[in-house]
Chain A
């Protein structure tokens, strides 16, 4: 009799110890918790209680029977999400620091940070023996912004500019920039090449004056009545089209006329 009571007391004491271990372990942070120990204790407890170990499907059934609201996630996936969030935060902080550093260098050197990025990119490529391909592009320069376009056509379409542009220039020159100039009584776009011998200015809402008409030579080119002069320094042709006033500058008369002949409109 006494031995049976002792055995029950011993079992109860064992159960208490196992419960204490389980409670102690589960109260710890999940990173420090020994889940294997908890599983062992639970299994042992169940054996002591005379209960059989539950299979995985039985556990799933029991869990599904519980009226949860929301998703049941394992401790493992929660831990993974936390670690991922920390990593993302660290990456974001490092990126922000690099961008801030670029900004500080840009301000102190008086250059735009985008220019610094481009230079850095080129330097890195060239370090590995690569060559940076320079694609043709055109810069639009306005008082409040500067934009780059891949072609004069793209620039004119995007900016909704409705004037003639050159499709031929001497010596295979290309338009490199279009700048906007606002004066008190006029607005002018200047199309510039690398070589300053060739350029075109387009003044909006202006017509050819009688003074020009009576003092310049006249030639009809491509349907335009062109008033032109030739100086030692450069040749210049003036004409109007759809209320826009064009001055085309070139090095010779021949190149001037061919440039005007090849002016086109955006469709």
Chain B
């Protein structure tokens, strides 16, 4: 009779053997330099800045005084809601408008339009120009007294007197959104075009054979296929616009009379024009809390997409 030897159990994973590092410890060792750098250039300034929000401190002068929540209540009792509203108006406008323009162009370029390769390159042009340059160009276009836009509109007989596009609360935000749209739509167009090019032609052909018209095909075939890309593009653009600074600062500096003031311009003005670093960091802290919400939404969406797969 033979006795079969019982199968041997796999040896338990040993954390440390003969001076060798475990996988976890080895991974930690590899990431340590990166973590140290992250802690130095991200975590330290972040915590330091959050801490500064509780002090009265002038950027130019040494010393500071603990003021508790004063800097936070200064904003919450003051302009916080106005700034939040204006930031949202800019963010929504500068996200939706370029999305619509970019999507329309992506659809046109994907339809096999003649010269679409050239047009794709042409439409990318605004994207490669630095944001500050774009803003200066548009500042001259919108200039109330010698701007191109007023010149064209007056010659066309649409307006009789020059309009102060950047000097009136009603039009200033519009002008800022138009400028940001010009700079942003190419990126959205490229991303959406990439999404559109992954839609199998067979689906369109099958839908056509079933009698679907172009609108029906768009909603039944195209949109479901690109919805994922579109949602990511929209959310990322929303987050970026929520922090956007250069276009607004160059065009209006947050004016007229604070009509285009967003978190980015308000923090800058308070810190680097008013040198009031305590109040600036307090507003920065509140702004970051709102950004956290947006990033949580982003993570939730990407998680859902992951689950769906």
Q: Do A and B truly interact?
A: no
